[in-house]
Structures are given as C-alpha cells and as structure tokens.
Amino acid sequence: MEKLILSEDEIVRICTRLGKEIDAKLDESNNGIPVVVAVMNGALPFYYELIKHIHHKIQLDTIKVSSYDGTGSTGHVTVSKDPDHNLEGRDVVLVEDIIDTGITMHYMKEYIHEHYKPKNLYTCILIKRNNINMKFDELSDFTGLTTDEQRYIVGFGFDYYGLLRNEPYVYVPSMKDIEELNAILEDDKKTHADMTKEK
C-alpha cells in the first residue's frame, strides 16, 4: 500500500453522516417510497454500508454502467442493466463510488431523467476527486470525501481489473501491489487456458 485514503472506521463515519443527510432530504417530500439505486459493481460495498444508516422506508435497486477499462476511463458510457422499479414521479437516490472525470455521472443523470422521469434525482458518492482532467464538473447532493489525490485507488468497491473490490478500506496501491496483482491475473489466465485445452 502506497497511501491509505479511507479506513474502515472512516467509511462507517461517512456512511452514518450521509444516511442522516439523505433522511433529512427525504423528509422534505412525499413522493411515495424512495428508491435507492446502486451503480454496479463499484458502488455495491459503499451502498450496502450506506443503506444501514438510512432510516426511511426505501426500496433498493441497481443499474450497471461502464466507462472504465482496467485503470482508465474510456470516455464512453454504456448501460448493461437498467433499474427494475418504476422510478417515475419518485424520489431516487443514485449511489456511486466516485466522481472522477464526471463523464459517468453526467451520462447517468441524463439517462435516468430521460428514461425514468423521477420527481427528484439525488446523487450520493463516496469520493469526489478534484480531477485535473475533469470533463464534467458534476456536483453530488451527498458527498463522503473530496480529495486531490490523482493516483489510481483500489479497495471497497474500487478495483484493479476486477480485483480488490472486497477490501474493507480505500487506498493507493504500491508498484509492488500492482506487480503481484498482474502476476495473479496472468496465472489465472493461464489456468483458464489450460482448462479450455483439457476440454
């Protein structure tokens, strides 16, 4: 590990605060049962911790989008799984792990407004990066941490080619970490190639 960004305790404290802020916002309206929508797969660890601290009666849902390939944003956003609930006329809280370039959040907000027409669409993110390459300076209604850290981060939903999402904290990996992960990925690739040959 090169640098710890958020510890387990800090994540719980952030989710406790955000839960209170979301409850207060939902208290202001009466648009039926609110729906809290997680962005798969990265936001799921944050989402499941966050909803423990929201005391409103809510319904849970997911949307799956992608704009990353490995460690970099492709700049192109695709939706591969839509929410299951009818969101029209409802209060919707969209839960995402990070606003980085702003591309994904910008696209998702437009997509949900256009396709689902919620009464109110609120966004909740764990980390807002003050990215020097920001494309859309999206602001979130509920933000856990704002950071100037520009390096790639992993853990608690943030991944390296699918790995490390299950780590309970967020950190900047060291070069040694990356080398070890690359070795694991290469070994896994060889194992699957050998299994395919055997078939």
Strand 91-99 relative to strand 35-40, pairing? parallel
Query: CA-CA distance, 91 to 122, in Å (whole number)?
Result: 8
Task: Return the minimum-mean-pLDDT range out of 89-98, 170-179, 185-194.
Answer: 185-194
Domain boundaries in the chain? Answer: 7-150
Write down the catalytic residue from 91, 97, 100, 159.
100
Q: Are strands 142-147 and 120-129 parallel, antiparallel or unpaired?
A: parallel
Helix (H, G, I), strand (E, B) or coil at 62: strand
> What is the dihedral angle through the alpha carbons of 107, 110, 111, 116, rounded to the nearest 10 degrees?
150
Place of tokens 């460690």: 71
Catalytic-residue membership of 100: yes
Residue 68 backbone dihedrals phi, psi, to 5 degrees: -115, 145
pLDDT tens-digit readout, 10-46: 999 999 999 999 999 999 888 899 999 999 999 999 9
Neighbour tally for 168: CB within 10 Å: 13
Q: What confidence tens digit (pLDDT) does each residue in 42-96 have?
A: 999 999 999 999 999 999 999 999 765 555 555 678 899 999 999 999 999 999 9
* Residue 37 contacts residue 90 (beta carbons within 8 Å): no
Rounded Cα distance, 72 and 120, in Å: 31
Rounded Cα–Cα distance for residues 122 and 134 (Å): 21
Specify the CATH class of 7-150 in words.
alpha beta
Q: What are 181-189's contacts with CB under 8 Å, separation 24+?
A: 185/161
